Structure 1
Amino acid sequence: MSAGCAVVIGASGGIGGAFADALDEEGTHAKVWRFGRSLAGDAHLDLTDEASIAAAAARVASGPPLSLVFVATGILGEGERGPEKALRDLDPDWLARVFAINTIGPALVAKHFLPLLPRTGTPVFAALSARVGSISDNRLGGWHGYRASKAALNMLIRNFAIDAARRNDRSIVVALHPGTVDTRLSEPFRGTVAPGKLFDPERAALQLLDVIEGLKPVDSGKCFAWDGVEIPA
């Protein structure tokens, strides 16, 4: 990943901002592009607005070659609304909102940014997923929309890996689980986190960057945790 530029989608969030900072400090990319919903001007990108995603991709296409895209977005709760604990909590509007951010948004980012990856080298497209998106590892149930949206994202990552390999068989497309990170997303659930397992955004970003830097083309289409261990589908 030493050549070209990097793109961070969700750079206004805790993990995304820390990841972009880590890339800047590393200094191995020609440029680090930051996009996010809370950023102004040309850096503004709303996952629910495809036009803003396309505009961001057009900006990146005019710059140095692209070597890394990191999608650091996600939603678990919003306002008073949290993840469902029972069937009676299912709500179609909330399900649509969760899928719009966790699944459809990253898919649209892939639609516009994957074609920008070079046909040579080992470019990486990575999106934040979650361990609870693993179907085979689901023992507790609940959190219906979040689990399902992340499972769907993991399937799309597999699809996108296959598509990307047709252009460049050394490209890498993966989903990443950051662990429990001290951000607004995890705030209501920190009391259940084991000691030493709540990561600050800076540590989480460095751990994810280490995982990305250790990836090989054979890893494309898979989901990996913050410690580099593959998460089953």
Structure 2
Amino acid sequence: MYLIFGASGGLGLALAQHASARGDTVVAVSRSGRPEAFTGEWIQVQGYEPEHMQPVLQAIEGQTLTGVISALGILHTNNFMPEKRIEDLSAEALEQTYYVNAVLPMLLLQALKSKLPTNSPCVWVQLSAKVGSITDNYLGGWYSYRASKAALNMLLKTAAIELKRTHKQLTIAAIHPGTTDTELSKPFQRRLPADKLYTPELSAERIWQVIENLEPEQSGQLFHWDGKQLPY
């Protein structure tokens, strides 16, 4: 069984549809209602904090999790866009971006830790971003998004070290999906070459290929959509 969080977004839905189409048992979780395009099990929650997880915990009671995939994340809202200059920084953007991109994924892991198998293979995958790599940052800008994804990567690596002691076959991974044609990327697509903008279906297929090849010794790493390890 796979749990997929953020399943109403373009990429989250594509990930759920891909797994369901190939015959996997999927429980899709979102704050929004089930879209017509998805016919599998759907749980609508008020939020992704631990206090809202009871319906999810009930749905997976007695089941063995094969993996958890989280597509949670924001880049912009109606109130702010990625910063081009330090003058564009605001506490609101920094706090909200950090909360959604770094805090919520870890609260999910905290809430579901007891449901992760300790003696069988399992993956915990959070979509991240290459721009969260400190080593790979040559352009600057996008302060809030970069910093929140860098924090996410560190949090996931730290959790991977801890859980390796108790969940020896668990693989925690962050995956960069590439620029996908979703609401998150729409404001930034105009100058993007056509071959660098991927459909949600293609990105989902690539992400699943990375997931299927993950091994426990890779836990805590950041991966490109083609399976290559990215630097922190």
Q: Same fold (TM over 0.5)?
A: yes
Distance of aligned partners of 1:49 and 1:221 in 2 relative to their CA distance in 1, 3 Å threshold: closer
Match of residue 181 from structure 1: 180
- Give the Cα–Cα distance (whole angstroms) in 2 for the partners of residues 100 and 48 of structure 1: 11
- Give the Cα–Cα distance (whole angstroms) in 1 for the partners of residues 78 and 212 of structure 2: 36
Question: How many Å apart are 1:13 and its aligned residue?
Answer: 0.5
Gaps of 5+ in 1: none
Match of residue 162 from structure 1: 161
3-state DSSP of counterpart to 1:7: strand
Match of residue 72 from structure 2: 73
Report 1:141-220 matches (<5 A): 141-220=140-219
Report 1:8-47 matches (<5 A): 8-27=4-23, 29=24, 31-39=25-33, 43-47=43-47
Distance of aligned partners of 1:50 and 1:114 in 2 relative to their CA distance in 1, 3 Å threshold: closer
Instruction: Tell me which amino acid in the other structure corresponds to 1:50.
Output: P
The answer to whether the 8 Å contact 1:48/1:101 transfers is no
The answer to whether the 8 Å contact 1:172/1:216 transfers is yes
- Give the Cα–Cα distance (whole angstroms) in 2 for the partners of residues 191 and 157 of structure 1: 33
Give the TM-score of the pair, scaled to structure 1.
0.92
Question: How many Å apart are 1:67 and its aligned residue?
Answer: 1.2
Gaps of 5+ in 2: 35-41
Stretches of 4+ moved more than 6 A in 1?
Answer: none
Distance of aligned partners of 1:178 and 1:83 in 2 relative to their CA distance in 1, 3 Å threshold: same
Give the TM-score of the pair, scaled to structure 2.
0.92
Report 1:94-109 matches (<5 A): 94-109=93-108
Match of residue 85 from structure 2: 86
Instruction: Tell me which amino acid in the other structure corresponds to 1:142.
Output: G
- Give the Cα–Cα distance (whole angstroms) in 2 for the partners of residues 153 and 45 of structure 1: 23
Q: Which has the higher helix share?
A: 1
Number of residues of Structure 1 aligned to a counterpart in Structure 2: 226
Question: How many Å apart are 1:80 and its aligned residue?
Answer: 4.8
2:133 paired with 1:134:
yes
Question: How many Å apart are 1:44 and its aligned residue?
Answer: 2.1
- Give the Cα–Cα distance (whole angstroms) in 1 for the partners of residues 188 and 179 of structure 2: 9
Instruction: Tell me which amino acid in the other structure corresponds to 2:31.
Output: R
